[in-house]
Amino acid sequence: MVAAPKKTILVVEDDRFYGNICKVKLSKEGYNVAVMNNGAWALKAIAEKKPDLILLDLVMPEMDGFETLKAIKSDPSSAKIPVIVLTNLGQPEDIKKAMDLGAIDYMVKTIIPIQKMVEKVRSHLPS
């Protein structure tokens, strides 16, 4: 019996420390994880890696998460990839905007334990 290929997660996070925590935790769960620290690089990585799920920060230099999410969802080759927003922005209007742009879930980093993030990823990426 051949094992199913590992699912790939792209973490788009400009805080290198937090991005690395996500990578370590999700790798321990058996996922392939790549970390990009801005939206423009993320779009290139999405085209190359075809991730199964994207964790997306909203506050980033060059191209913010809203612009990145809009670009992901407007491209037919990436539009179906589930995107979970993982950010420090917790205002209702930010949540609404992200969900309206196509995010499937929204988590505020400062109030959600990292293990809860792992559980959310697992729930959106059944094996």
Q: DSSP E strands: which ranges in 53-109?
A: 53-56, 83-87, 105-108
Is 104 domain-assigned?
no
pTM: 0.95
pLDDT at position 61 is 86
Closest CA to 50 of 7, 113, 100, 86: 7
Q: Which domain holds residue 52?
A: 1-84
Number of structural domains, the chain? 1
pLDDT at position 4 is 63
Gap between the Cα atoms of 56 and 68, Å rounded: 8
pLDDT at position 2 is 55
| Sheet with 53-56, edge to edge strand ranges | 32-36, 8-12, 53-56, 83-87, 105-108
Give the number of other CB atoms < 10 A from CB of residue 26.
24
pLDDT at position 3 is 58
Tens of pLDDT along the chain (127 residues) come to 555 678 999 999 999 999 999 999 999 999 999 999 999 999 999 999 999 999 999 999 889 999 999 999 999 999 999 999 999 999 999 999 999 999 999 999 999 999 999 999 999 997 6
Q: What CATH number does residue 4 fall under?
A: 3.40.50.2300
